[in-house]
Structures are given as structure tokens and as C-alpha cells.
Amino acid sequence: MSIIEKNFEQQLIVFPNPADNIVNVELKYIMEIDASFVIYDISGRKVKEAILKANQQMIELSISDLQSGLYYYEVQSGCKIDNSKGKLIITD
């Protein structure tokens, strides 16, 4: 992992984790372009996506329609440096 990737991961907070109905996605910096917060199931299938608008630092995302289990998330934008991945645990 490069220093740039590590620094970005410290700027992204997904909470609570584990989560049950709602997950918050917070960026500790302001992005100049829109980005997508995407949740994948363990087979790699996209199950949820939300848009982080430019200059928006936080979104609240309902996950009540997702079953309990381990999921992966990714933040995607037009700038390669902004891509970040992590794990999300959803409980009942």
C-alpha cells in the first residue's frame, strides 16, 4: 500500500460497522467531482450504490434491504487516487 492510498483510507469513515439499518459514509476532505459509494456482496455482485456529490462530505445510506453478512464497499471517482475499498458487516 502506498502512502497516498493509506492517507486516503484515513480520510474515509464508514460507520457504524457493523451496521444494521443505516450506514454513514463520511469523507474528511472535499472532493471536486461526484463519486460513487458502491456496496458489493461476497460474490462481487453490486447490491447498493449511492452518489457522493461534489463538495458533499457525508451521506446516510439505508441498508435495511440487505441481508446480514459480509459486504465490501468501494468509493469510485474519476480520479484514480480517490478509489478506496473496505469491508462492511451487516447485522440483523
The domain locations on the chain are 3-90
Q: Report the first-to-last Cα separation within the chain, whole angstroms.
A: 33
Residue 27 has pLDDT above 60, yes or no: yes
Q: Which residue has the higher pLDDT, 60 or 92?
A: 60
Task: Kindly state the average pLDDT of the residues 32-44.
Answer: 91
Q: CA torsion sign, 50 to 53 to 57 to 60?
A: negative
What is the pTM assigned to this prediction?
0.82
Task: Kindly state the average pLDDT of the residues 18-46.
Answer: 90
Task: Kindly state the average pLDDT of the residues 13-35.
Answer: 88
Q: C-alpha distances in angstroms, 73 versus 26, 30, 45, 81?
A: 13, 20, 11, 16
CATH number of 3-90: 2.60.40.3080
Residue 2 has pLDDT above 50, yes or no: no
Quote the mean pLDDT of the chain.
Answer: 83
57 close to 26: Cβ distance less than 8 angstroms: yes
Query: What distance separates the 2 farthest-apart alpha carbons in the chain?
Result: 36
